Amino acid sequence: MEQNIDRILVMDLHGAMAHFRAFYTNSSSLTYSFPPRTVITGLLAGIMGYPRDSYYREFSKERCRIALSIISPFRKIMNTINYLWAKSSSDFVVRAGNPLQVQFESLIPGSGLKEWGELVYRIYIWHSDQGILDNLAKRVRENKYVYPPYMGISEFIAELESVDDIHGDDIEVLESDQHQDFATVINTDLIADRGLEFKSGVNMLQYLKEIMPVEFNADRSSRATGSFVFEKNLSNIRAIMTKPFVRIKGKNIAFMETDYE
């Protein structure tokens, strides 16, 4: 890890519902269990006012690192949504009674846990440009955004809450050939062969994997994808890492990117 990881912003993204559309779906709109890196960088660029598709280089994996923790329990529900089939302004009148029905999957807070009323994701951000980190920290702290944050689609408005701004000695870059506890989702390319441990104390760990985009090219084509593991019951992931990882204030996190050079 050649970048100088000397400052990490920590913020919570939370909202009532979410939909992070899976790129491999067609007739049904399925959702990921957590926001992909492309969604997070788009959200950060939006609150700072970057025009659409203009920020990919600024938030490339060479310049920006993102890690994510799932904080709240969640579940998925499927609904049928009526879309209006419209190719011109006249279709808003002519086809008003002929909607196109599409299956639409959403994320909502997990049931049976009264203390959770929202979906909550914790985002960890490092950037090579301190000015961008300063800008992000100020906007989140003061709730001043050019474009409001949302959970995947504009109908699911969200909020950002500043959690921490970590500097200096509170950040360690480590290597280990032993199992470590990680508070974040992990890119499977970072995990050693047979490096997952499926039991932590008396509790069994239940891992799920999702394939999602990591980065876009300037023309919005996919530059990189990845497989990410998360623990369904919100426990830490027990894993042996093949590359350096970061420890902040005693907590291990794994960035979503794999090539640190």
Q: Where are the beta strands (DSSP E) in 143-221?
A: 158-167, 171-174, 180-182, 186-187, 191-197, 199-200, 203-204, 207-216
Q: Residue 86 domain-assigned?
A: no
Written as one letter, the residue type at 106 is S
The predicted model scores a pTM of 0.90
Q: Residue 101 domain-assigned?
A: no
pLDDT in tens, the chain (261 residues): 457 899 999 999 999 999 999 987 766 789 999 999 999 999 999 999 999 888 989 999 889 999 999 999 999 999 888 877 777 777 666 555 567 788 899 999 986 555 558 999 999 999 999 999 999 999 999 999 999 999 999 899 999 999 999 998 899 999 999 999 999 999 999 999 999 998 877 778 899 999 998 888 777 777 788 999 999 989 999 999 999 999 999 999 999 998 654
Q: Residue 235 domain-assigned?
A: yes
pLDDT at 184: 97
**CATH number of the CATH domain containing 72:** 3.30.70.3120
Q: What is the dihedral of CA 196, 202, 203, 205, to 10 degrees?
A: 10
* 99 touches 84 (CB < 8 A): yes
Domain membership of residue 166 as a residue range? 7-77+108-253
Q: Residue 88 domain-assigned?
A: no
Interhelix angle for 37-48 vs 130-142, to 10°?
80
Q: Residue 20 domain-assigned?
A: yes
pLDDT at 12: 97
Q: Which residue in 71, 64, 22, 26 sits closest to 43, CA to CA?
A: 64
Q: What is the 3-state secondary structure of 66-91?
A: EEEEECCCEEEEEEEEEEECCCCCCH
Q: Residue 143 domain-assigned?
A: yes
pLDDT at 261: 43
> Which tokens in the block code for residue 174?
């480590």
Q: Residue 1 domain-assigned?
A: no
Domain count, the chain: 1
Say which residue the tokens 């579940």 belong to.
Answer: 75
Q: Residue 62 domain-assigned?
A: yes
> Which tokens in the block code for residue 78?
């499927």
